[in-house]
Chains A and B, each alone.
Chain A
Amino acid sequence: MEHVSTTERIVRGVLITLVLAFFLFPIFWILLMSFQTNETILRIPPSLFFEPTLANYTALLTGQLKTTAGNLDILFMRNLGNSVLLSTGSVLLSLLLGVPAAYAFARFRFRLGENIAFTLLSFRFAPPLLVLLPLSLYFKPLGLTNSYVGLVWVYQLICLPLILWIVRGYFEDISPDIEHAYRISGHSWRQTFTRIAIPLARPGIAAAGLLAFIFAWNNFVFALILASADKQPVTVGALAFVTASGIQYGQIAAAIVLSVTPTLLLALYAQRYLVEGLSLGAVKG
């Protein structure tokens, strides 16, 4: 790195800036929009200069949406809470089920093992809507429609295969001899799993957990069909901003900013695991 010429450094800087600008501009624009009223957003030509307002955020936080047609109750904060609850709940359940399963698939050869693993993966192939129609029929008699339990269960379709297949690869990368050595020194296989296998696969588990969380957070159709307003996450809740008197761009922008924040914070926190995890997997294949 020391012998990089000045021109090369400048060109590199410019290119990186261009790429960043390209990818970050929409997010930056939404951030600006969230501090504007509908009128300033829609004016032509658009301008970077405006009088910032917190009205959009207050509307979201208080749940009172003031439109020209009158006051509207919105459940945004409730939706946000639902998103957190559903995503966290599903990822935790998936980790609880998926990590031991991934270990079993990685370490033991058993009858139909590969078939079961592939079937789990194949859940990701089917178009969600196709799965949802029959599912909604079953959910009604079971009393699972519009319940957190039902949604978390359906969310396993998103999270479980992801965690299972990513974490399995990490377990397979750990030399079995390390586990054998731990067992021979006098530890049960359960201790070997919790004290050797899990800590060594931690980057993979963190990466898989984070990815699963993002996928769950961004899911739209499952909750749209299987839940009503009070159980729906932000992705569905944002529909409420399309009102009779027009689309509330300012509130949508503010809602996006608020709903991106938890994932962003989580990603920043897990970043070092994520980068380490993704690159490790890439090198070892």
Chain B
Amino acid sequence: MPRLELKGITKSFKDCAVLDGVSLGAEAGEIVVIFGPSGTGKTVLLRLIAGVHDPDRGAIFVDGHDMTDVAPDHRGIGMAFQNFALFPHMSAFDNIASPLAARHLPPAAIREGVERVAKLLKIDQVLAHTPRELSNGQKQRTALARALAGSPKLLLLDDPLRNVDAKLRFEMRLELPPLLRQSGSTVLYVTQDYKEAMALADRIAVLIGGQFVQVAPPYDIYRLPETVQVARLFGDPTINLIDVTPHAAGNGVFATISNTAVAIGEQYRASVGRAALLGIRPESIKISDAAAGLIAADVVATTPLNERLVTLLKTADGHELLVSQPATERAAEADIRVGLQFAPDDIVLFDKASGQRLQAANGAGRS
């Protein structure tokens, strides 16, 4: 029995449908990241689970119990809000203690519980301060500590790293996974940052247009995105998408790019003749000297991105492509003609009209 089960959750505000029949299951101790562009109802979904709003249709089960009509104070949930939502008139200690105090635990037990999470989150030295006296990072840690303090079955984290600076966000991305695992709670984590999603998730649920487009482990979402939209949301620089019409030749299936036939694999034989989009990640393209059999392209510009070097190229038939290489590679000079090679296993094909990934013939795809 899954720890959390959402069945056909539908919610609209006024006449605007936000969630349209969302279903999801999460096991005990699992970290599920709900990822999506802003305004797709990620926060609304968390609030429905927390009981702050009621769904129009659908049901929420926790450990098999129907929680849909249960008041928020009886759901056994911990939640951290994007804007922290600390109680401004209480000290950090009392903020963190509130889930414990609500259970009427003896003061000693409350103190012990608060100090335990405060130590984990490294805020044990500021427990006497009010939220006004805390730095942004400390506020965020206090909000997390409050959510964790009650050892909830279900931990809802609504983009908790949104309002902290980049350095702190990176630190927390490293710190959070072991912390969340240690808590033993099932975690639903909302974010719009794909790197955060990849770093934290056991599974990522991609929410677009009020529905889950894909629910899968991070690596699968990156390698085999279900739709063009998902492919675009994950990855920086974004995936290259090229209009192709696969054709069959004697020894395999090919797509023609810049007058060069690129082998895309036997499994796409069913898609021959269809208008399609070929997706290839920038790091799956290899730049070498121009040669026969390679895709000819001109270097337009290069720019460093973190430890990588990104090159913008233009193929002879006008497609722009991004290539990402380790920064140790020699930077190609502008206006030089080079040859490109696609890693055949990293090619994905999408139907041009629907944007859906074209399934490989054997059905299971590659993994």
Contacts and interface: CB of A to CB of B under 8 A. Distances in A.
Interface residues of A, number: 15
Contacts of B103: 186
Contacts of A188: 71, 73
B85 A181 contact: yes
B287 interface: no
Nearest to A191: B102
Interface stretch (A31-39, A75-83, A100-108, A172-180): A172-180
Contacts of A183: 51-52, 71-73
A180 B72 contact: yes
Interface string A201-221: 000000000000000000000
A196 interface: yes
Nearest to B75: A184
Central interface residue in A175, A180, A181, by most chain B CB within 10 Å: A181
B83 interface: yes
Central interface residue in A175, A180, A184, by most chain B CB within 10 Å: A184
A210 to B, nearest CB: 20
Contact of A182 (B47, B78, B87): B87
A178 B85 contact: yes
B89 A184 contact: no
A187 B73 contact: yes
Contacts of A187: 73, 98, 102
Interface in B46-65: 47, 50-52
Interface string B81-121: 10101111100000000110011000000000000000000
Interface of A is mostly: helix
A180 B52 contact: yes
Contacts of B81: 177, 180-181
Interface in B131-148: 146
A186 B73 contact: yes
Contacts of B71: 183, 188
A19 B88 CA distance: 38
A185 B88 contact: no
Given A185-B99, A186-B98, 15 more contacts: A177-B85, A178-B88, A180-B52, A181-B79, A181-B85, A181-B87, A183-B51, A183-B52, A184-B50, A186-B73, A186-B74, A187-B98, A188-B73, A196-B87, A200-B89
A128 interface: no
B45 interface: no
A186 B99 contact: yes
Given A184-B78, A186-B150, A200-B89, A175 B83 contact: yes
Interface of A: 175, 177-178, 180-188, 196, 199-200
Contacts of B83: 175, 177
Interface of B: 47, 50-52, 71-75, 77-79, 81, 83, 85-89, 98-99, 102-103, 146, 150
Contacts, number: 61
A184 B72 contact: yes
A184 B52 contact: yes
Nearest to A186: B102
A214 B233 CA distance: 61
Contact of B50 (A180, A196, A199): A180
A-B pairs, top 9 by smallest CB distance, nearest first, are A186-B102, A177-B85, A185-B99, A181-B85, A185-B98, A183-B72, A180-B52, A186-B73, A178-B85
A182 B87 CA distance: 8
Contact of B87 (A178, A184, A186): A178
B96 to A, nearest CB: 10
B79 A184 contact: yes
A184 B75 CA distance: 8
B101 to A, nearest CB: 8
Nearest to B74: A186
A199 B89 contact: yes
A184 B88 CA distance: 17
9 contacts: A177-B81, A177-B83, A178-B85, A178-B86, A178-B88, A183-B73, A184-B50, A184-B78, A186-B98
A184 B156 CA distance: 11
A181 B88 contact: no
Central interface residue in B72, B75, B99, by most chain A CB within 10 Å: B72
Contacts of A175: 83, 85
A177 B81 CA distance: 8
A175 B83 CA distance: 9
Nearest to B96: A185
B85 A180 contact: yes
A196 B89 CA distance: 8
B364 to A, nearest CB: 41
A187 B75 CA distance: 11
A185 B150 contact: yes
B98 to A, nearest CB: 4
Nearest to B146: A185
Central interface residue in B74, B85, B86, B150, by most chain A CB within 10 Å: B85
A175 B71 CA distance: 20
A97 to B, nearest CB: 24
Contacts of A177: 81, 83, 85
A108 B77 CA distance: 24
A196 B87 CA distance: 7
Contacts of A181: 79, 81, 85-87, 146
